[in-house]
A and B are shown apart, each in its own frame.
Chain A
């Protein structure tokens, strides 16, 4: 079947997106549309004594101005966290209270203080500027590494020392003993730079309160509209769940930042009720830099011990993770269960210990961002491997091979059990495709042009489809992590797939349809995928953590099984055959070895006309399924980056980037390649260009693209991609997930290549030309003095 599993089907959504016909939240316009703008905290830490809105309220078009204390009075709840972490001493975590709008203290530049509702967006913004703030500026804690220092400014009164939790994983005594007896010990301090998510579409919300129906509708830029509805009703009390419809229409990228329910959506819903108007807010780019949840921001000290043969004997990490001024929805799990549990990498490590201290600072909240925790773990491990190989005078690929896990399932020392993989094969393939054998010659040729050529590796494993629900519950999760699906066959045989997953760039409209096309042999054009509307789709958990494949598609497979079983019963009854003799081919159900058959649409019609169904069968052909996986899935890969550095300017050019991945079963290779292209490009962005920078007072210096460098097409090479699949035994498709792997694996490959080129391991991300040049001067004192 040409549209089935494994086919390079062109995307059904492309016509809409490429011709500018997508329908995004900001495209929604209602009859009584009003517009919101927020008054925001201008400094990193302040006591807000009050506002004076008299002048602003008198301005043309201004409808209302409301504040945090009013919201609190109306019973709107505080922001919640979705995962409770327990500190190593058994105490629960400490987090500061987060009011959707400030009630007393503003804790980062951008903290929402008041909402202005006006007839036009321009009027709302002008009035927001005219609101006078009465505040006292307070000392701020800005930098990750400073938060735990004695005398650091307290971000929240109830969080002493700014410490949210002091968490550990693994066996410290065993790791210490391993290190004490190690033949060689490698130590490195690394910064995992803070990133801004930068989806192309900024966040937006249209909140509509219908007084006659006492009903709310919220259009919003969400990766998980059902979770948004649940949280908005159960915790924030803006509207009861059955009277709130949440719609996430086309969403232009999320990368994690649109998982969370932000103050603006809550406030717009409340303001719609207060004003009787439909209230729209759309973030501008600077607001996005200021208030979208940032990613990463770890400072880590790592120690790895090896025996004389180069086998890892112990690994220890000590991390400070910046959570920002407030604990965003999944902020606590990212540095712990999504980071600490991956510290074994793809290596057989007998002793591991990880300590993570999560801290508050006077900066925007930090939460999961493409990869979430796994990039941080991978970066630490893979920089350590490369550095250790250099220190021990070993080939970095050989050191990895010596330590690779060879048998599956594999139980690590840090909770996880890996499902399947062939790490040797991935590295072999990558080395061949990167032509590692020819590297020395290329290096010499580059040197003749005055360029420094370097090569760097990253072999990684990561975990997708966080699960199962009971296990994550026991680790502190407030939610279950299953997925739901419904498959409806219409009377004419066309198919609708309703999914709890949400596509904001993942191509579900195409790949999910391929599953049904594959199963029943119908053209993909006859399959429609519906998602993102709580009135249409039953409760679902949404898309993040590369879960739409392993979890979302698995739910669809289960529903397809049920539909197939019922369809076969109908066909067997009609054709007077045994179900066991039926086969589905090219859109027909046939009795094997005979010419008896029913076309797919005839079965659909039979199910709904219901004139001749098997005894006791209910009419209709529509099935629902929930899938709760038994474990994560574990994609892996071998990446090789080759760079050329210009020693005069520090400019690094990536001359070749090879990625050989194991994503298990691949539904659509073109879509998977697209995900790898995007992921690797984001990883290169982190490694060489991107970084959120604050000044000492907590003002954001990178608040626009004038200063925040996003990767452009000419910053990255054409990628060399390949796959070797070992299907996951844990889900019906054998699928592992591919949405984040590129961003997880690539940063250390890039940095390892640059440090190889310049001969200095002391280099932090982003490795901008100025930093690379400075690192070169540090190892070439003679040149610098010239």
Chain B
């Protein structure tokens, strides 16, 4: 790892000014993605701005219609949170299935969403539930936030402070883990709310997390596994790599979608 300046601000404003004042500053959250890339010399930020000590960055807030989760809340905290388990159990389960215990106790929801790894789990929930990403500058709808693998609408000095998830009447996530990394090879988040259904797919798409319109339409008509029988996943839109080709991933998307529907009940 190269030398870097470490900041630990205690307010969002201080964090933003530390970021904008730096030559090449980066937000540091759980460090589960950022630190390994720095150790491998794939990233060399001049400054790290650790946001975990900022009051209000950790925890779950329930306003009756939505759960707002602080950006620095760890996967383990979300997985164990009683409110999340009661109101959006599919989200708690998703968090509990990320990586291993060490990763879950360090990695954060904000870091995962900001990073937008094409195989990460959280982006499927954010897009599938139609969540809102709350930043130091504005609020961004999920549909506008993810812009292809490792790319988001975030600006350089913009910090995610929280994510607001509207409650759904049915919601579940089914993940097919990559045998090596155990990131998602295909992860499908299905949510139904007021008769409309959203289906978000991670891990499988050639360009990162995406919504599957055909499945959303089919499930809006009838929320059942068999409704998905006649939907089509285009193998050409899928990632193809040493772990599986497009045809296999297309199949997985459909199988995982059915399993998510079955779990959502």
Contact = CB atoms under 8 A, between A and B. Distances in A.
B179 A689 contact: yes
Contacts of A706: 180-181, 183
Contacts of A708: 180
Interface of A: 122, 125-126, 129, 286, 648-650, 689, 693, 701-702, 705-710, 768-770, 773-774
Contact of A707 (B1, B41, B242, B247): B242
A125 B180 contact: no
Interface centre among B40, B176, B180, B244 (most CB of A within 10 A): B180
Top 10 A-B pairs ranked by shortest CB distance?
A: A770-B244, A709-B180, A770-B248, A709-B179, A706-B181, A648-B255, A693-B242, A707-B180, A701-B242, A689-B179
A687 B179 CA distance: 13
B179 A773 contact: no
B248 A702 contact: no
Interface string B23-55: 000000000000000001100000000000000
18 contacts: A122-B1, A126-B2, A126-B41, A286-B40, A649-B176, A649-B252, A650-B248, A689-B180, A702-B180, A707-B180, A707-B242, A768-B243, A769-B248, A770-B243, A770-B245, A770-B248, A773-B248, A774-B247
Q: Is the interface of A mostly helix, strand, loop or mixed?
A: loop
Interface string B234-255: 0000000011110110011001
Q: Is the interface of B mostly helix, strand, loop or mixed?
A: loop
Contacts of A769: 176, 179, 244, 248
Contacts of B176: 649, 769
Contact of A129 (B41, B181, B252): B41
Contacts of A122: 1-2
B181 A774 contact: no
B242 A702 contact: yes
Contacts of B248: 650, 769-770, 773-774
A705 B181 contact: yes
Interface string B166-188: 00000000001001110100000
Contacts of A701: 242
A449 to B, nearest CB: 14
A710 B40 CA distance: 21
A126 B40 CA distance: 10
B94 to A, nearest CB: 19
Contacts of B252: 649
Nearest to A701: B242
Nearest to B2: A126
B251 A773 contact: yes
Nearest to A705: B180
B172 to A, nearest CB: 17
A40 to B, nearest CB: 14
Interface in B93-137: none
Contacts of B243: 707, 768, 770
Nearest to B183: A706
Interface centre among B181, B242, B243 (most CB of A within 10 A): B242
Contacts of A710: 180
Contacts of A693: 242
Contacts of A689: 179-180
B1 to A, nearest CB: 7
A649 B248 CA distance: 8
B64 to A, nearest CB: 39
B220 to A, nearest CB: 23
Contacts of B40: 286
A393 to B, nearest CB: 33
A648 B248 CA distance: 10
A701 B243 CA distance: 11
Given A702-B242, A773-B251, 11 more contacts: A126-B2, A648-B251, A649-B176, A705-B180, A706-B181, A768-B179, A768-B244, A769-B176, A769-B244, A770-B248, A774-B247
A706 B247 CA distance: 22
B235 to A, nearest CB: 12
Contacts of B181: 705-707
A650 B176 CA distance: 11
Contacts of A768: 179, 243-244
A771 to B, nearest CB: 9
A707 B181 CA distance: 6
Contacts of B242: 693, 701-702, 707
B213 to A, nearest CB: 21
Nearest to B254: A648
Nearest to B258: A648
Contacts of B255: 648-649
Nearest to A126: B2
Nearest to A691: B242
A426 B119 CA distance: 46
Nearest to B119: A706
A695 to B, nearest CB: 9
Nearest to B251: A773
A701 B242 CA distance: 8
